[in-house]
Amino acid sequence: MIIAIDGPEASGKGTVAKLIAKKYKLRHLDSGLLYRLTGVNLLDQGITDDTTDTFVTAAISAANQITAEDLDNPPNNIRSMGVGINASKVAVIPDVRDILTAIQQNIATKKPGAVIDGRDIGTVVFPNADFKFWITASLEHRAKRRFLDYQASGRKDTLEEVTQAIKDRDYRDRNRAASPMKKADDAHLIDTSKMSIDAVIEALSTYINAKLANRVGKGQSQ
Ligand code: C5P
């Protein structure tokens, strides 16, 4: 079983994906982590200028070096704003996307299946996923959440800086030529702006259970 959960930064999709995976006893795969691992590799080498050929070559090489085990032991700064920005820069490179898409398909198709969160799971990585969700929230709510996360981890970024960084990343993710971030036509949309996490999980579960019951019903009547 494959459950695709896409959406923009700080929409809550990562938390939701983790909890839904636990509930349905599936693997959880955070596809953003693959892009972040590629981005942090370049940052460690001091490569941040995405207008150069060096950036593209280094990004392809970094993506090729990622193993499934790296996902379990990411470096401490993996969630930082700088790594997120570099991740969205490597994410525009088609060869990087192809390499990371293959890794995702390989991991997620192993039994018992997976809940994968990202930007292009329902459109490109698993267009035939059993369930597709688009999780979103207003820019204001997303920025506030990310700001509180950063504050809790002792970071000093202002709300304005966090809001601007989210806007920039949204722009890059939505407007890139290769697999831009977008809702799959058949994805179920949930706006988490005014919902508690419990309410979001309830909404996804209700949708999944109804579809599963429908499948069982159809199977029995054949
Ligand atoms: O989800 P997260 O914030 O960790 O993702 C970091 C960046 O990786 C995103 O801004 C996006 O540019 C890229 N990404 C992507 N496709 C995915 C997951 C992440 O392009 N499936």
Centre of ligand 1 from the C-alpha of residue 222, in Å? 42
Domain map (residue ranges) of the chain? 2-211
Distance between Cα 119 and ligand 1 center (Å):
6
DSSP type of residue 98:
H
For 109-146, the pLDDT digits (tens) are 999 999 999 999 999 999 999 999 999 999 999 999 99
What's the predicted TM-score (pTM) here?
Answer: 0.94
For residue 191, what are the CA distances in angstroms to 11, 145, 161?
A: 8, 14, 24
Residue 36: which residues within 8 A CB-CB, separation 6 or more? 74, 78, 79, 83, 84, 87
Maximal C-alpha separation, the chain: 61
Q: Which residues line ligand 1 (CB under 6 A)?
A: 9, 31-32, 35-36, 84, 87-88, 91, 118-121, 169, 173
Pocket test for ligand 1, best of 15, 16, 31 (most atoms within 8 A of CB): 31
Alpha-carbon span 3 to 106, nearest angstrom: 15
Q: Is 15 exposed, middle or buried (0-12, 13-18, 19+ CB in 10 A)?
A: middle
Give the architecture (CATH level 2) of 2-211: 3-Layer(aba) Sandwich (3.40)
Digit-coded pLDDT (tens) for 12-31? 999 999 999 999 999 999 99
